[in-house]
Amino acid sequence: MQSYTIGQAARLLGVSPDTARRWADAGRVATHRDEGGRRLIDGRDLAAFSIEIGQGGGGEDEASYTSARNAFPGIVTGLKLGDVAAQVEIQAGPHRLVSLLTREAVEELGLEVGMRATARVKSTSVYIDRA
């Protein structure tokens, strides 16, 4: 039977390796160790757990679902908080993205400079310029 490392399982489940590790530590999914000491999850166990997650059993760390397809994982490099609105700057590889959102949303997300975040872009109008 195929087994998966915590990192591989995390990618398949769409969560961070830390989240997958916490789930394993909490006994939500069974693991065993290989000869090298790596924690592995049996394929059948991972399949059953992925169904549980898909049915809303992810709990607090559950991956969010979105119809936005353009994801830019990066690091928060700037925050400007106003009374109502906020500006969040993310550096995602060579891309600098700036988002305007409510201050409340920034506070609920707990955003801070230096933390990882993903900017998701969805637009009905995308313009392309020829170089």
Q: Cβ(106)–Cβ(81) under 8 Å?
A: yes
User: pLDDT tens digits for 83-99?
Assistant: 999 999 988 777 888 99
Which amino acid does the sequence have at 54?
G
Rounded Cα distance between 104 and 32, Å, is 42
The rounded mean pLDDT for the chain is 83
Please tell me what DSSP assigns to residue 124: S
Looking at residue 128, its pLDDT comes to: 62
**Span of 30-39, 46-55, 93-102 with lowest mean pLDDT:** 46-55
Which amino acid does the sequence have at 74?
G
The residue-averaged pLDDT of 102-121 equals 90
The yes-or-no verdict on residue 61 having pLDDT over 50 is no
Please tell me what DSSP assigns to residue 29: S
Looking at residue 94, its pLDDT comes to: 76
Is the model's pTM score more than 0.75? no
Q: Cβ(60)–Cβ(18) under 8 Å?
A: no
Cβ contacts of 125-129, under 8 Å, gap ≥ 24: none
